[in-house]
Structure 1
Amino acid sequence: MLIETLTMLFSRDLNILKSEIESYQNESTIWKIQNGIANSAGNLCLHLLGNLNMYIGAEFGKTGYIRNRALEFSLKDIPRKVLLQKIDETIVVVENALNTITEEDLKIEYPLLVLKDKTSTEFLLIHLTTHLAYHLGQINYHRRLLET
């Protein structure tokens, strides 16, 4: 039951991410920072995709993904079309990987130390949904603030 819910939430929110990136009227604004805005929407998008591809795709989907977190925040001016393609690819990776997880797997310790302390797989997956939602809000605010 939880796996189905998580799959639905990740799919929903990754599709919202796609919609947010598509909604920028000026593509260059995706990468804009100003007045104390530390991260562009493009960098937050890359960060979210790196996060999910690492902690879900590589760990459960065995995709072989190797994360370079620093690049998530330093890369700039990747075309919108490429970001949208990466979002679509991540949706597939996350759905496929979540399909490999059993209810029993949720109760065991997640194999990587991601947060301050070790957690169950269930806790980490729920954390990843809230992390995604948190940054979605930042991206939405970024777009509305810089395109007015």
Structure 2
Amino acid sequence: MLIPILKTLFIRDLEKLKVELELYRNEQNIWLVDKQITNTAGNLCLHLIGNLNTYIGAELGKTGYIRNRPLEFSSGPVPRTELLKSIDETIQMIDSTLDQLSEEQMANEYPQEVTGGKVSTGYFLTHLATHLSYHLGQVNYHRRLLDN
């Protein structure tokens, strides 16, 4: 029962991330740093793509994805079209990976210890969904504050 809920939430929020990036009137502002806002929308997008492709794709889907977390926060500017393409690829990965999971796997321990202790796969996927939502809100505020 949790799998279709999480799948819906991941896809909904990744689609919303695409909308947020498309709403920037000036594409250069996706990479704008101003005052105390140190994470750009572009870097947050790269971070979310890396995070989901690591913990869902590579770990659960065995996609072979290799993460370079420092580049998520130091890369840029990546063209908006490339960011949108990467989000679409992440949506496809989530769709196919979560379709492969069973409820039994959701109850089993997540293969990596990443939250300071051992947790179930279902718990960790819920954590990832809330992490996505948190940063999506930051992107929304970044756009509304800095894309005037």
Q: How high is the TM-score relative to the length of structure 1?
A: 0.98
CA shift for structure 1 position 117: 1.2
The equivalent of 1:78 in structure 2 is: 78
Percent identical residues:
59
Gaps of 5+ in 2: none
Any idea what SS the aligned residue of 2:100 has?
coil
AA partner of residue 9 (structure 1): L
CA shift for structure 1 position 147: 1.7
The equivalent of 2:41 in structure 1 is: 41
Any idea what SS the aligned residue of 1:99 has?
helix
The equivalent of 2:137 in structure 1 is: 137
Q: How high is the TM-score relative to the length of structure 2?
A: 0.98
- For residues 103 and 79 of structure 1, the distance between their equivalents in structure 2, rounded to whole angstroms, comes to 38
The equivalent of 2:68 in structure 1 is: 68
Aligned residue pair count: 148
AA partner of residue 132 (structure 1): L
- For residues 80 and 74 of structure 2, the distance between their equivalents in structure 1, rounded to whole angstroms, comes to 16
CA shift for structure 1 position 107: 0.9
The equivalent of 1:117 in structure 2 is: 117
- For residues 141 and 118 of structure 2, the distance between their equivalents in structure 1, rounded to whole angstroms, comes to 32
- For residues 21 and 139 of structure 1, the distance between their equivalents in structure 2, rounded to whole angstroms, comes to 8
- For residues 82 and 129 of structure 2, the distance between their equivalents in structure 1, rounded to whole angstroms, comes to 23
- For residues 91 and 78 of structure 1, the distance between their equivalents in structure 2, rounded to whole angstroms, comes to 19
- For residues 39 and 5 of structure 1, the distance between their equivalents in structure 2, rounded to whole angstroms, comes to 29
CA shift for structure 1 position 129: 0.5
